Chain A
Amino acid sequence: MLKLPIYMDNNSTTRTDPRVVDAMIPFFTEKFGNAASRNHPFGWEADEAVGEARKQIGNLIGSGPSEIIFTSGATEAINLALKGVAQMYKKKGNHIITQVTEHKATLDTCKRLEKDGFQVTYLPVDKFGQVSAEQIREALTDKTILVSIMAANNEIGSLQPIKAIGKLCKEKGILFHTDAVQAVGKIPINVDEMGIDLLSMSGHKMYGPKGIGALYVRKKDPRVRLDPQIDGGGHERGMRSGTLPVPLIVGLGEAADICYREMAEESKKTYRLREKLRKGIMSQLPESYINGHPDERLPGNANISFAYVEGEGLMMGIKDVAVSSGSACTSASLEPSYVLRALGVGDELAHSSIRFGIGRFNTEEEVDYVIDLVVREVNRLREMSPLYEMAQEGIDLKSIEWSGH
């Protein structure tokens, strides 16, 4: 039985897995101790649970348990990684390399660092939203201390060549941070095999709770040091003070453990549903275009532009399906998605984009429903679109002098 509305915006957030909620509850009720209380069983119990969560997260990304630093989320993890490294290693150099389609957590942190005297190179991406290790090699200077490249993009799902970038950074002795918020739990990530020194992740993007994230900080070869951004009781090896939110940490650990055990099967399923959705929609709608890389992308992500139809207008038509759009109208700014623009997708098509994020809890039936609804609504809106009418009449839309506003 199909239940509306359908949630298909899993790149934005995910439903907390009921198994995760079950694991968390005792740590709100009976097991409420402070993990830093060394002298009574309440504290021991909490500390043990936190230790177990570190192991579960470590298993998923191939790290040791003590290399996990808990934060309030990925935004804080990214801030800590970039600012922490920049401040700690500023005597060594002041240059950071990143790329233009990073999440704002990275871009805005870099802007802040620029104000503080650091130099940041923002590499352009190709039409699929990818950078190459070669681009990074060319951008390196003797002042470069850090490279920060996301593992997978949140809007278009494109994967970056993390392993090649990690290898290059190792070779040059430069620290490598990756924002792996979208990738962890969806595709295999191994910090050793990929040469990752710092990795940011978020609980709520992987069926865990909101309000918790983690930063992996390499302890050996090299031992990465960070200038803490929050001062206090010296928790998390002094890198992030603040009483540990034990229930959230237990939730993140459980979420990581479920991903570790089920990712192989689950990603096959989300990929199959994604492909069904993509083909189902695009085969019925001419002039629809996939944004991002056709194959090297997150299994559940499909970002599609529908020419002549505005994204937010379309979202109103498919209001029983929760998705998001690169249209300006969905954001506070009036500019369309900077990610799509960086790919060279024209502003008109950027306004026409819809991001579908298929996740753990989506069903085949939901995908069938969404295909039919999207096709019907795009056709309806095209019949209502002056641009579609002009295109049908053979008028080149670029030849028109638009008034703008």
Chain B
Amino acid sequence: MPYSDKILEHYNNPRNVGSFTQSDLNVGTGLVGAPECGDVLKLQILVNPATGMIEDAKFKTFGCGSAIASSSLATEWLKGKSIEDALAIRNTQIVEELALPPVKVHCSVLAEDAIKAAIKNFQDKQQNTNAEKREPVAVG
């Protein structure tokens, strides 16, 4: 099947490939998909705790060109967004931007899932730390 120029562009020059330290409190990691399904996306966000803004995003993807392009685009869009705005990103926007063919729509769904998973991971971490911080107070 022929690919759009935008898919090829992201595939050949993927943005933000890499990893942040997963244990960093300001990092949220989303790992979605499964090797036996042929797609695994790892998407990470680095959030500034003071502003709540996503300062940086990185990805690694096992999958077809459309999956790689969807992840690459997602990281590009995440940078500089608030958590709230990031949660508003929809897979249909990715489909539109990359002109994904119908059989590749699941790649965009996976990218949206990865964004949500990364944000949830970040929020869970924050909550846990806040809970830990409060604990001594409560005991004292």
Contacts and interface: CB of A to CB of B under 8 A. Distances in A.
Interface string B1-27: 001000010010010010100000000
A327 interface: yes
A210 interface: no
Contact of A329 (B31, B36, B42, B64): B64
A307 B51 CA distance: 41
A217 interface: no
A18 interface: no
Interface in B50-64: 60-64
A7 interface: no
A268 B124 CA distance: 62
Given A384-B60, A385-B60, A405 B35 contact: no
A316 B109 CA distance: 21
A313 B67 contact: yes
B40 interface: yes
B65 interface: yes
Interface string A280-294: 000000000000000
A389 B11 CA distance: 19
A386 B38 contact: no
Interface in A324-374: 327-329, 332, 334, 336, 346-348, 351
Contacts of A403: 31-34, 113
Interface string A67-107: 00000000000000000000000000000000000000000
How would you classify the secondary structure of chain B's contact residues: helix, strand, loop or mixed? Answer: mixed
A309 interface: yes
Contacts of A317: 11
Given A313-B63, A313-B67, A403-B32, A351 B38 contact: yes
A383 interface: yes
A312 interface: yes
A387 interface: yes
Contact of A405 (B17, B39, B65): B39
Nearest to B68: A313
Contacts of A386: 31, 40-42, 60-62
Name the residue among A313, A346, A351 with the largest chain B CB count within 10 angstroms: A313
Interface residues of A, number: 31
Given A384-B14, A405-B39, A389 B60 contact: yes
A397 B35 contact: yes
Nearest to B19: A389
Nearest to A307: B35
Contacts of B11: 313, 316-317
Nearest to B109: A405
A292 B20 CA distance: 39
A351 B37 CA distance: 8
A400 B103 CA distance: 27
Given A316-B3, A405-B109, A385 B62 contact: yes
A88 B103 CA distance: 43
B100 interface: no
Given A336-B38, A402-B33, A403-B33, A384 B19 contact: no
A189 B3 CA distance: 42
B38 A402 contact: no
Contacts of B14: 384
A183 B103 CA distance: 34
A216 interface: no
Given A384-B68, A386-B40, A347 B62 contact: no
B110 interface: yes
A386 B59 CA distance: 8
A117 interface: no
B106 interface: yes
A394 interface: no
A260 interface: no
Contacts of B19: 389
A404 B62 contact: no
Contacts of A347: 35-38
A155 interface: no
A128 interface: no
Please provide the 6 A-B residue pairs with the shortest distance between their CB atoms, ordered closest to farther: A402-B34, A347-B36, A316-B65, A386-B42, A348-B35, A312-B64
16 contacts: A310-B67, A312-B64, A313-B64, A316-B8, A328-B38, A347-B35, A347-B37, A384-B14, A385-B60, A387-B40, A402-B34, A402-B37, A403-B31, A403-B32, A405-B109, A405-B113
Interface of A: 308-313, 316-317, 327-329, 332, 334, 336, 346-348, 351, 383-389, 397, 400, 402-405
